[in-house]
Structure 1
């Protein structure tokens, strides 16, 4: 799956008329703080990866002062090695986190007092990639082939095979580490490889000179949400107005980020990315944000940014329990609180 330029132009058009003029690099400026509501306690936003354009809306909201405009002080924290974000958030009442749907559900099933409140991505970027000349373009093309996945992808692939009527042995699934995984695809040891579709295919193209073929798993029945905002029951009960302010600023940040993808990518690469990391490459970040934008806006209207559809959430939850991705399936009342974001109305 290559970048869909037509969709990208449409996506940029959603938000560009209102905000692009004020965001064009290098005219990007921090906003002056508006008259603030009564001071609210500070919160920490715990990300599930390092600073890069996967969090462009939040980073731009931070840079432009959008959180402060809404009267809330937010500290953005990048992921640290071996961190399980739902566990960290559950132990810190004044914290919001983001994570994949399955990790939030797993924590809830174990009794963690957490609820999902909105989402950044409308679909999981979990995908398989194959070599450009492989002619392996669909799931059924992989029957009889070897597919390398990470530990968290083994049961996901069982779900995908089951939903698509393939028996467990139809596709050979091999659990692999992250190290040197591209080598194993390029040298033919593996026929397909698990990837995160908003990032890893760009690195593949830089190395090989051509984009891989992508098989997004949301097109094959894995209808999970990703980069889901969630928080503690305590924060929901004690400071709902704080969460509302956070969500409003965050999604305004996303609207502004998608209105000026080149400028936002440059800002993230030069201001927030860890020095020496691949995320300081402006071109890499711009291409990644183009892909990210597709996941933020997939299947929704601009007014619905952040939307979680309860029926889809529960259907995916039930499938995850059926295929052992989570131990049990929490009900909607125990899992979601969608009352604080207008995109969920």
Structure 2
């Protein structure tokens, strides 16, 4: 079980991405994938993130730093990503061994024929939120009437925004939406061109606060009862069928790394130092990681072993995403999630 820590939430940087080697050898997709620590051998494994490294990813760096992945026979190389869709497709095409991706993007790509499955969602409470400066005087959803909010067409927070407004007792027409890309949203908010933005509360917020010198308030989707799964570990169907021992080892090592990083947040953030030139400052990383910790609990089961998923939460996620139009229809859970690798043998 993990201990909740208090916090605000945070950002991801943007820029040009190259692989981040956290071991002496670079791993190729499926390279000697059957080896585990049990036989004394190491397997080179590549993991592609959902974006350039930010505080949410501290657990992976800490797991490498503390030898957790090594204990499971994994020689881990972390690669920056450029969005969950690209990460999902790279995993499906065997360009990387595993991906770390947002569940709405994973499900949408599976429906489009990409051969991957989730093997464990870690961010089980959605980080989706309307983010506004605290000095704006906006403290509750009703205060959004008449505001202009920056959005990014097609992403999960934007697509589900009408559902948030409805749950909060508002009409979609109560808010003007301005479509911008991720960097444009942040700049527009900082420069006062919009009243706020929609995004991941543990992602942009701490960076906006650091750059502006102003506090940020979050109106979270989950606060009005709207929730769906976010980021987690994915593997290709061929990896799952051909190398189940490696998948099991990767899920277990990731779960243990998250727990270790929860128990030592300062050490987890320190493990990211110098790993990528695009990485935010340490204080921003710390807020991002603290914000991530708050998202790891299950909406129905509360505190759980990191990466353990319930059928109920999966069904709710699928239902919400189908209603929002991010997937065509609500399909059975096993269409998207393989439960065979849950940490500790949990359901």
Give the TM interval when normalised to the shorter protein: 0.7 to 0.9
Q: Deviations over 1:128-182 (max 9, x none)?
A: 1112122212222212322111122432212323444543323222212334434
- Between 1:45-54 and 1:155-164, the stretch displaced more is 155-164
> Counterpart of 2:342?
341
Cα separation, 2, equivalents of 1:293 and 1:229: 16
Alignment of 1:90-239 (within 5 A): 90-92=92-94, 95-151=97-153, 152=155, 153-186=157-190, 188-239=192-243
Structure 2 CA distance for aligned equivalents of residues 94 and 41 of structure 1:
13
Within 5 Å, which residues of 2 pair with 1:174-323?
Answer: 174-186=178-190, 188-270=192-274, 272=275, 274-275=276-277, 277-279=278-280, 281-297=281-297, 303-323=304-324
Q: Secondary structure at the match of 1:214?
A: strand
Equivalent pair of 2:51/2:83 in contact (CA under 8 Å): no
| 2:335 maps to 1:325 | no
Does the 8 A contact of 2:43 with 2:75 survive in 1? yes
How many Å separate the matches in 1 of 2:68 and 2:47? 14
Structure 1 residues 329 and 40: CA distance shift in structure 2, 3 A = farther
Quick one: distance in 2 between partners of 1:253 and 1:165? 40
Higher helix fraction (1 or 2): 1
Give secondary structure in 2 for the equivalent of 1:121.
Answer: coil
> Counterpart of 1:85?
87
Determine helix, strand or coil for the equivalent of 2:162. helix
Moved more, 256-265 or 72-81: 72-81
Question: What's the CA shift for 1:9?
Answer: 6.9
The verdict on how the C-alpha distance between 1:149 and 1:284 changes in structure 2, with shifts beyond 3 A counting, is same
Against the structure 1 CA distance between its residues 76 and 186, is the aligned structure 2 distance closer, same or farther, given a 3 Å change threshold?
Answer: closer
Match of 1:3 in 2: none
Per-residue CA deviation, residues 10-45 of structure 1 (Å, 9 max, x unaligned), is 9xxxxxxxxxxxxxxxxxxxxxxx963364754321
CA 1:46/1:330 → structure 2, altered by over 3 Å: closer, same or farther?
A: farther
Aligned length: 313
Runs of 4+ in 1 over 6 A off after TM superposition: none
8 Å CA contact retained: 1:94, 1:235: no
For 2:214 and 2:96, locate their aligned partners in 1 and report how far apart those are by CA, in whole Å. 45
Q: What is the CA distance between 1:301 and its match in structure 2?
A: 5.9
Inter-partner Cα distance in structure 1 for 2:107 and 2:39: 34
Q: How does 1:13-52 map to 2 (within 5 A)?
A: 36-37=38-39, 39=41, 42-52=44-54
Report if aligned partners of 2:298, 2:313 keep a CA contact under 8 Å in 1: no
Write out per-residue CA displacement over residues 304-331 of structure 1, whole angstroms, 9 at most, x where no aligned residue.
Answer: 2212222222222222222222233332
Aligned to 1:111, the other structure's residue is in SS state coil
Shift of 1:214: 0.8
- Could you say what the CA RMSD is over the residues aligned between the two structures, in angstroms? 2.8
Structure 2: gaps of 5 or more residues: 8-35
Normalising to structure 2: TM-score of the pair? 0.80
Following superposition, the deviation at residue 59 of structure 1 comes to 1.3
Deviation for aligned residue 1:88:
0.9
